[in-house]
Amino acid sequence: MTVFSFLPSDGKSITSFKGDINVFLKYLTGSQGVAPTQYLKSFGAGTEPTMGDNAVFSTSKYTVDVKYY
């Protein structure tokens, strides 16, 4: 399995996120060498510390809405 992670370029914490994962997938197939014949098998969220330690990920709600095109 290949994992793609994106981190904020300014180093600030992300406290909320809402977006269209299809934009991310199009970026991966258009410029990162991911074949458009591949498909998304799993979706996850978490924390990835880039400095320090003891990173914590907490959420009260986590949803993914899958739409077929």
Are 43 and 64 in contact, with CB atoms under 8 Å apart?
A: yes
The boundaries of the domain holding residue 33 are 17-48
Q: What is the reported pTM? A: 0.64
Quote the pLDDT of residue 69: 67
Q: What digits encode the pLDDT tens for the residues 5-58?
A: 877 888 787 778 888 888 888 999 999 999 999 888 887 777 777 777 777 878
> What does the alpha-carbon distance between residue 15 and residue 3 come to, in Å, rounded to a whole number?
22
Residue 40 lies in a domain: yes
24-42 per-residue burial string, b: 16 or more CB within 10 A, e: under 16: ebeebeeeeeeeeeeeeee
Quote the pLDDT of residue 29: 93
Domain count, the chain: 1
Residue 4 lies in a domain: no
Residue 26 lies in a domain: yes
